[in-house]
Structure formats: C-alpha cells, structure tokens
Amino acid sequence: MRLNKILKNTLLVLTACLVLSACATKKEVTDTKGQMQGDVYTGTDTVKYLADGVPDRVFFATNESILTTASRETLRSQASWLRKNPSINVVLEGHADERGTREYNLALGERRANAAKDYLMTYGISSDRITVLSYGKERPVDSGSNPLAWSKNRRSVTVKAN
C-alpha cells in the first residue's frame, strides 16, 4: 500500500519534471518512442527491480556523472529498501557507452557508480554496505551503435552482493 503511494507520488513528481523540462527546452531532442530526454535514457526496457517498485539502475548523459531527478528518485527508493533490509549489501556497477577510450571509460564508470554511492550514503546507507565496481565500456546491455543504445549503456546498476 505504502509502496504504491510512494510510487504514485514518484510518478507525479516525474510527470511534473517532464512537463517542466519540456516547457523549459522545447527543442530538446526526444526519441520517437519517448525513451530519452536529452541524451539520458528514460525508458524501462533494460531496467530490473531489486524489489517491487525499486528499479536497479540509473542513467547518465554523455560524459556526465550527474544524477538526474529521476535517478535521485530511483536511488531514494533503493535507499529506503536497503534501510528495510539491513543485511543486504550491494555492488554498484558503473558503466560507460562505447563512444570513449577504454581507460577513460573505466574511470568514468567508477565516477558514475560513486555518484550513486554518495547519494545512497546521504540517505543513510553505510559505505560498508556498498562496493563500487567499474566496467567501463566492457559490459553494454545493448549492442547497438546508436544514441538510444548508448543511453541505455551509460548507467550505474545496483546489484545485491549477498
């Protein structure tokens, strides 16, 4: 019940954000299927769930490690789930798309996963429970060579470690 409420609120906030940002930048390129905002993936194709209503991943803009509003929402739901499940530890797997040099992408993946880690910590999750692991561009979820595929691959995925 409660979860549902949170989810509803989340959706409301999300829609509000979408509307706002759409107003703010009308020219912003949106994918035909509405799966991207700017070049950040907003779809759910690849998303898995840690628990009901707790998405496992957040997405990033090209070369960026800044958390979007949607990402922060996702991470807050992860944090609240982790608080309820104190015995569970997680690995944050940071990834980059294929449009960058290998070594820089390893560092970028680490920076993205750390952005997620920092946010979880501000919501009360101890750093002892979080391991960061960067895969750079080594483990894409979508093997496509197009902007939508790249947007799905620029991600930090929260994986149960135990």
Partner 1 sequence: MIKKILFLYLILLPINAFALIEVDITRGNLNPLPVAVSPLSIDENSRLSFKKILDREDIGSEISLIVENNLRTSGLFNPLSKDAFLQAPDIANLKPRFEDWNLIKAQALITGKVSYINDKLRVEFRLWDVLAAKEMMALAFTTVPTNWRRVGHIISDKVYQRLTGEKGYFDTRIIYVAEEGPKTQRIKKLAIMDQDGFNNKFLTLGNELVLTPRFNPTSQIITYLSYFKNMPRVYLLDIETGTQEVVGDFPGMTFAPRFSPNGKKIIMSFAKDGKSDIYTMDLENRIVERITNHPSIDTSPSYSPDGKFITFNSDRSGYQQIYVMRNDGSDVKRISFGNGLYGTPVWSPRGDLIAFTKLHKGKFYIGVMRSDGSGERLLTENYYQEAPSWSPNGRVLIFYRETKTNAKGEGFSAKLWSIDLTGYNERLIKTPTDASDPSWSSLLSN
Give the range of 20-28, 29-37, 72-80, 136-144 binding partner 1 by CB under 8 A. 136-144
Residues 61-90 interacting with partner 1 (rule: CB under 8 A): 63, 65
Per-position DSSP letters for 114-158, written without gaps between them: HHHHHHHHHTT--GGGEEEEEEETSS-S----SHHHHHHHSEEEE
Alpha carbon distance 54, 106 (integer Å): 26
Alpha carbon distance 52, 55 (integer Å): 8
Of the two residues 10 and 62, which places its CB atom closer to partner 1 in the complex?
A: 62
Query: Helix or strand or coil: residue 161?
Result: coil
Of the two residues 31 and 142, which places its CB atom closer to partner 1 in the complex?
A: 142
Q: What angle do CA 104, 67, 103 make, to 5 degrees?
A: 5
Give the range of 14-22, 26-34, 66-74, 114-122 binding partner 1 by CB under 8 A. 114-122
114 binds partner 1 (CB under 8 A): yes
Among 38, 47, 53, 111, binds partner 1 (CB under 8 A): 111
Among 48, 83, 102, 160, binds partner 1 (CB under 8 A): 102
Alpha carbon distance 104, 137 (integer Å): 10
Residues in touch with partner 1 (CB under 8 A): 63, 65, 98-104, 106-108, 110-111, 114-115, 118, 132-134, 138-146, 149
